[in-house]
Amino acid sequence: MKLATLRANGTTTAARLDGTPVGGTFTEIPGYSDLGVLLAEEDWRGIAATASGKRHPAADAELEAVVPRPSKVLCVGLNYTEHILEMGRELPAYPTVFAKFADTLTGPADAVAAVPEDPDLDWEGELAVVIGRTAYRVGEGEAGKHIAGYAAANDISMRGWQARTQEWLQGKIWARSTPVGPVMVTADEFDPAQATLRTTVNGQTMQEHPVADLLFKPAQLVAYLSTILPLRPGDLILTGTPGGVGKGRTPQIYLQAGDIVEVEIDGIGNLLTPIGEPTRVPA
């Protein structure tokens, strides 16, 4: 199944996509204001599969972040083997982990505003893991049972602020800067090892890499992170980005107002993000 959070009539609702994002239909799942609320139900699969709420043409639908209010968003850096080696680094023994917050998330087609405080706005196409049931201190062998599905994400980063200190957090958590979606494809219908991630800027390919090259695979990340704290239904894990980001290019390339950055993952769909003009706050 493909599930999403749909904006409709000034509110949001969990919805099921039947057919393709172009010619298909979103069917509302009554009683569930977003996908995270639905995933808290033990029988979320059955509820979603049998839902028969109001229908919306997919081509006209407006989508929210696939899970708008997760209890946590955990992110992994330096997680594509080829990219690590080409940077001259040794493969790490453990994941590099940082966090985001719900305020950082935005819809899969929403504009992300450039910020006047940092001109070094960069893209990071990523696979996102969506947790389906609470995982706490689970082993790798059972971790996959706790994954509801997968989505695409763009960890748009303010590189200037990220480089201010050794900790990355302040360059990663700007409000409404991380599109996630367009849908969550359930784990039984998506194999990360068979997918390719692509990122384009104004139609030019910047990243194109097999997701199979992840050093720490989704189940490994669930097991590792659940050792630290419980992962709840609807929580997100952003698994890292491959080579091809703007900061790593010669010369470096950064996003500007008017640019269009698109992240696509085979079998999931795409995020198409316009970069908006900076919002200047009066002194």
Inside any domain, residue 281: no
Q: Could you tell me the pLDDT band of residue 281, with boundaries at 50, 70 and 90?
A: low
Cα torsion angle, 96, 92, 205, 116, sign: positive
DSSP code string of 68-82: SS-S-EEEEES-BHH
Quick one: 33 and 155 in the same domain? no
Question: What is the average per-residue pLDDT within 46-68?
Answer: 96
Q: What is the pLDDT of residues 87-99, one digit of tens each?
A: 778 999 999 999 9
Give me the phi and psi of 56, to 5 degrees please. -135, 130
Same domain, 148 and 242: yes
* pLDDT mean over 252-281: 94
Q: Strand 236-238 to strand 73-77: parallel, antiparallel, or no bridges (unpaired)?
A: parallel
How many whole angstroms separate alpha carbon 65 and alpha carbon 138? 27
Same domain, 88 and 209: yes
Provide the domain limits for residue 52.
1-64
State the pLDDT confidence band at 83, using cuts at 50, 70 and 90.
Answer: confident
Interacting residues of 27 by C-beta distance below 8 A, sequence separation 6+: 15, 16, 18, 51, 52, 53, 54, 55, 56
Q: Cα–Cα distance between 14 and 130 in angstroms, integer?
A: 14
| Residue 15 neighbours by CB distance under 10 Å | 32
The domain tally of the chain equals 2
Asked if the structure places residue 282 within a domain, the reply is no
CA distance 144 to 234: 15
Residues 124 and 174 in one domain: yes
User: What pLDDT sits at residue 272?
Assistant: 97
Q: Are residues 53 and 81 in the same domain?
A: no
Tokens 């200047």, residue?
Answer: 280
Task: Report the mean per-residue pLDDT for the chain.
Answer: 95
Of 80-94, 173-187, 218-232, where does mean pLDDT reach its minimum?
A: 80-94
CATH code of the domain containing 264 = 3.90.850.10
- 17/100 same-domain check: no
Do residues 174 and 59 both lie within one domain?
no
Q: Is there a single domain that holds both residue 120 and residue 42?
A: no
Closest CA to 214 of 72, 77, 73: 77
Share of the chain above pLDDT 90, in %: 90
pLDDT tens across 98-120, in order? 999 999 999 999 999 999 999 99
Check whether residue 170 and residue 224 sit in a common domain.
yes
pTM: 0.96
